[in-house]
Structures are given as C-alpha cells and as structure tokens.
C-alpha cells in the first residue's frame, strides 16, 4: 500500500515529468509507441506505432500566467499541472477562456492506493457487479471475474473470438441497466473480417448463474467499413438514463477522412437499444442524411465515455500530437476531425490546413496539449470522496495518473492529476465509493481517501 499526503502527491508527479525523455523505453523498437499504445513491458505485444515519432515531452517555457488563479467567491486555485510546459501547437489559441489548462484545486487530494488484484493482462475494461465482484477484460482476449477478496477467476467461457493485435483485442465491458434481473453483459472487441481486415463489434451475452461463462452471445453492431489497420478502435460504452447504449468507434488511423461522413461509423459515436435496434429519435434514424445508428461523428479515437450528472454523454478522445479532447457529443453533431484539431501530426506538421475551428463543427469543451492520452472514464458517485460528487475521473496513459475534472456551468473549472506512476487503462467506481483503476502493469487498484 502506498499513502500519499498532499505535498508528496505533488512531488510524485513533478519528478517523473522532470525526468522524462523523448526517447522510447523499448530498446528493440524502431519507432516510438504513440501515447495510446501499451507500455513496452506489457504482457502482450505493443501497439503498432504511427508513421511518425511522437514527442513525449516538450521543453519548458515561461508561462504567461504563473500565479494561482482566483475570482470573487472562489478558493485560491493553483496553476495548471502542466504550467510551464510548451504546447505542441504553440500558434493555436483556444476558442474561449478556460478551454484548456484549467487551474488545479487549491489543495491536492490526499489519497492512498491499494492493490485489489494483480497478475492480469492489460485490463481494458472493468464492470462492477452488484455482489461486489468485478468483470475485467484482458485485451489479449479473456474475460475474468475478480472477487471481493481479489481472487482472479479462470477465463470465462463464451467470449467471442477476438483479433488481439496492435490496439485491438477484447476491449470494454459493461453490465446492462437491468442486470439483477437479466444478467446481461455487453462487450466490445476487434473482430476478424474478410481479407485480413478487422473492425470493432458490440456483443451481448448473459452471465451464467455460476458466473463462469457468457451464454446466448449475439452481435449487436459491427463498425463498417472494416480496415487492415490495428489502431484506433475506440470502443467505450455507456448506458444513458433512458436505457439506450452509446458506443464509441475510432477512425482506425490513417488520414481519417471517413470520420467526416455520417454514413459510416468510422470516427463516430453510435446509439442503439440493448437489443441492437435503432432508437426512433436518433438524428439519422430514417437513413436519409446519415446511418441510422449514428449519434455524432468527426471523432478521432474516443477511449473514454461516461454519463455525466447532467444526464448527457461525455467523452474524451485521443488527439494526435496534442489535442486530446473532452466533448459532450450531441445528436447529429460533427466534431470536426480531421478538419479541425488542437493538435499537430507526429513530427510537428499541421493536420490538414492546421485550423482549429470551422462553421458547422463543434468545439471541444476542453482540450489538452501536451496530451494525457485518455483511456477509461467515470462520473464519481459515492460516499468516500463527497467533494468529488459529479466530477469526471479519466485514466491517463501518458500522464500516468488519474485525471479529475470539476465542472461549472458546463465548462471545466479545475483539473487535478492524482499521480500513480503507471499507465491507467480503465476506470470504474466500486460499490463503497472507491475508485477502481486498471493499469497496464496488470493490476486493479482501489483509490481511497488518506
């Protein structure tokens, strides 16, 4: 167990930032892995790198706003955790005040972390069950159950066959809103398609009474068109309050032009019923102006999704080099990728025309440059951290932290990084209010107050 007091928590973050390097830590790599990729010491092969080498860190610069921020009626806030770090796109400016680099809370969170389970593969998704146990996906293709005492089960049967290559494999897991009655479990995974291609798919099954297998497994939705790429599958899921299911799909890498078409599910968020049918109030339900399942499009690689306290879907997606985005996807909205972005290509070249805004395209609520490399997300609802109620908790692969955002009036008010010194892949909330994070080190950690 590691206990962090407020000053030591800040020091624990600053040390890895100060000592980090732009070089890959994999001595056998010919290219550096992208921030989305797994750590080279993971138990499965690392993800395929992009064609260019990403910067891991950028040199410091003199910040314009180095003092703590405050306003009438507010507590004194500390500068953003990345204050002093140069952005990858220094010539780009936010569209509105507070769109990036929000201040930290006045006081750092004092927390401790406990190892709930270890010895896992990359735990891409975590679903908390009513009995206190967890369903955990291992990206290599296995689904396991972790009991309340930390015991890890043998692989569950009935899981669809996956293509475990690059960033693909067995991805997210979520239980249905009526799980206590129907024991429904939903999975996303990369599925083999014709001609050596693959694409993410959504499956539904029923957890057996003894919790050892999935039964009656069926495919609800398949992303089209498939690709030979092993990147950018997206694949996070979230159930809306009305019982419909949101699923995110990535642009599959490359130039990303297909993400600008609402007639396919490349770089898109879809919305379906739990049986796979299409809600009648979807923006393109009639199929005339877009594919019936499409909710929003123009996304790059959404790997974080949650339903906020306002009842809306909120997502975080990977940007290229810079430009990770927090969005609130709305029905029929075009989020702009790859036409507009607050990032640049790996190596520093502009993406497209290098613009950040265009009429008819939605601005992100917030963005990061440099990136956090998001993976996993939850809205905090619990008793252990009462001040966090409704806050967003986001896994950071590049930041090696749990990123906490507070909102006011639909905008980010503060940003805090809880340093964990490990790539955070998945986030969930336990029944007792502890925050569960799955790491690329093969562990499930519980975050509790100090």
The residues annotated with a catalytic role in the active site are 232
Q: Which residues, in sequence order, are CB contacts of 95 under 8 Å at separation 6+?
A: 356, 357, 363
The Cβ of residue 387 has, within 10 Å, a number of other Cβ atoms equal to 11
Record the tokens describing residue 116, joined without a space.
Answer: 């709930």
137 bridge partner residues: 125, 143
Q: Which residues, in sequence order, are CB contacts of 97 under 8 Å at separation 6+?
A: none
Cis peptide before 117 (omega within 30 of 0): no
For residues 436 and 126, is the Cβ–Cβ distance under 8 A? yes
In degrees and rounded to multiples of 5, residue 377 shows phi and psi of: -165, 145
CA dihedral 57, 58, 64, 70 (to 10 degrees): 0
Task: Please compute, for residue 140, the number of CA atoms within 13 A of its CA located in the half-sphere on the CB side.
Answer: 12
What is the C-alpha separation between 396 and 427, in angstroms, rounded? 10
Distance of CA 129 to the CA centre of its chain: 21
Q: What is the 3-state secondary structure (H, E, C) of 203-259?
A: EEEEECCCCCEEEEEEEEEECCCCECCCCCCCCCEEECCCCCEEEEECCCCCCCHHH
414 bridge partner residues: 406
Give, as one character, the DSSP assignment of residue 191: E
Strand-pair category, 294-297 with 333-334 = parallel
| Alpha-carbon distances, residue 321 vs 77, 218, 239, 329, 415 (angstroms) | 28, 37, 30, 22, 20
Among 371, 293, 282, which Cα is nearest to 326's? 371
* DSSP letter for each residue of 171-185: EEEEE-TTHHHH-EE
68-72 long-range Cβ contacts below 8 angstroms, 24+ apart:
68/103, 68/106, 69/103
Q: Which residue has the tokens 């896992």?
A: 120
What is the C-alpha separation between 162 and 157, in angstroms, rounded? 13
């Amino acid at each position: 167990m590691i206990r962090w007091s407020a000053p030591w928590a800040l020091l624990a973050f600053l040390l890895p930032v100060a000592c980090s390097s732009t070089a890959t830590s994999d001595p056998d790599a010919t290219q550096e892995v992208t921030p989305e990729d797994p750590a080279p010491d993971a138990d499965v092969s690392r993800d395929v790198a992009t064609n260019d080498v990403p910067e891991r860190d950028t040199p410091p610069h003199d910040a314009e706003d180095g003092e703590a921020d405050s306003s009438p009626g507010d507590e004194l806030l500390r500068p953003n955790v990345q204050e002093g770090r140069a952005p990858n796109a220094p010539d780009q400016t936010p569209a509105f005040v507070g769109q990036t680099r929000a201040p930290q809370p006045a006081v750092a969170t004092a927390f401790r972390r406990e190892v709930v389970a270890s010895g896992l593969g990359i735990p891409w998704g975590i679903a908390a069950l009513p009995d206190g146990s967890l369903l955990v996906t291992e990206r290599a293709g296995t689904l396991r159950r972790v009991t309340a005492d930390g015991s890890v089960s043998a692989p569950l049967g009935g899981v669809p066959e996956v293509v475990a290559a690059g960033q693909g494999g067995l991805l997210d897991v979520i239980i249905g809103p009526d799980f206590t009655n129907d024991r429904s479990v939903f999975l996303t995974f990369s599925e083999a398609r014709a001609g050596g291609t693959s694409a993410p798919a959504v499956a539904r099954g029923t957890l057996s009474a003894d919790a050892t297998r999935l039964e009656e497994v069926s495919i609800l939705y398949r992303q089209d068109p498939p690709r030979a790429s092993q990147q950018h599958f997206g694949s996070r899921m979230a159930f809306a309050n009305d019982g419909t299911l949101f699923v995110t799909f990535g642009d599959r890498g490359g130039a990303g032009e297909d993400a600008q078409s609402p007639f396919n599910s490349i770089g898109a968020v879809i919305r379906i019923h739990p049986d796979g049918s299409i809600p009648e109030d979807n923006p393109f339900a009639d199929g005339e102006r877009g594919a019936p399942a499409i909710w929003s499009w123009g996304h790059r690689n959404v790997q974080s999704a949650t339903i906020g306290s306002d009842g809306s879907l909120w997502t975080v997606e990977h940007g290229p080099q810079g430009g990770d985005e927090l969005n609130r996807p709305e029905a029929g909205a075009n989020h702009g990728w790859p036409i507009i972005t607050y990032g640049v290509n790996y190596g520093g070249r502009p993406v497209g025309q290098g613009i950040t805004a265009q009429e008819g395209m939605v601005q992100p609520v917030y963005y990061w440059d440099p990136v956090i490399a998001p993976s996993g997300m939850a809205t905090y609802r619990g008793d252990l951290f009462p001040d966090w109620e409704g806050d967003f908790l986001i896994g950071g692969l590049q930041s090696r932290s749990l990123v906490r955002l507070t909102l006011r009036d639909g905008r980010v008010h503060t940003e805090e990084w809880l340093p964990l010194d490990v790539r955070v892949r998945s986030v969930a909330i336990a029944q007792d209010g502890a925050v569960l994070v799955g790491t690329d080190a093969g562990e499930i950690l519980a975050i509790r107050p100090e």
